[in-house]
């Protein structure tokens, strides 16, 4: 049962597609600086986070999840602590449903 994800600095920094999905026991995601930041010059860059009912903490040291153009957030109702400096800078298309306001206010 996965309860936490911790990624160090620059982990998957050039990811084109990032997906956290169907993880019913996940409670915490902690990202090092520039982790999962995406590809700045690639319009296909995307983030999907869905069906994470127990996720309560989403924290980054900075510039994580920065360059996603398409963001899909669904069924993340329990988020209480969100710290994502410089995230979501280039979002052009988003779909949000049943997500804590602590995250939706950043988009």
- Per-residue pLDDT tens digits for 67-104: 999 999 999 999 999 999 999 999 999 999 999 999 99
- Quick check: is 82 in a domain? yes
Predicted confidence (pLDDT) per residue in 22-38, tens digit? 999 999 999 999 999 99
Residue 68's domain comprises 4-98
Indicate the number of domains in the chain: 1
- In 3-state terms, what secondary structure has residue 26? coil
Question: What pTM does this model have?
Answer: 0.95
pLDDT at 103: 96
- Quick check: is 106 in a domain? no
pLDDT at 28: 99
- Give the mean pLDDT of 40-65: 97
Q: Are 58 and 82 within 8 A, CB to CB?
A: yes
CB-count burial class (<10 Å; 0-12, 13-18, 19+) for 44: exposed
Per-residue tokens: 91: 């979002």
- Quick check: is 107 in a domain? no
pLDDT at 31: 98
User: Scanning the structure block, which residue is given the tokens 């993340």?
Assistant: 76
């Amino acid at each position: 049962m996965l309860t936490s994800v911790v990624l160090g600095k620059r982990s998957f920094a050039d990811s084109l597609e990032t997906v956290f999905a169907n993880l019913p026991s996940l409670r915490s995601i902690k990202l090092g600086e520039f982790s999962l930041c995406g590809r700045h010059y690639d319009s296909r860059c995307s983030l999907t986070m869905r069906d994470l009912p127990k996720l309560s903490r989403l924290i980054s040291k900075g510039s994580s999840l920065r360059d996603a153009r398409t963001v899909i957030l669904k069924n993340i109702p329990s988020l209480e602590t969100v710290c994502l400096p410089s995230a979501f800078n280039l979002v052009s298309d988003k779909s949000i449903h049943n997500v804590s306001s602590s995250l939706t206010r950043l988009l």
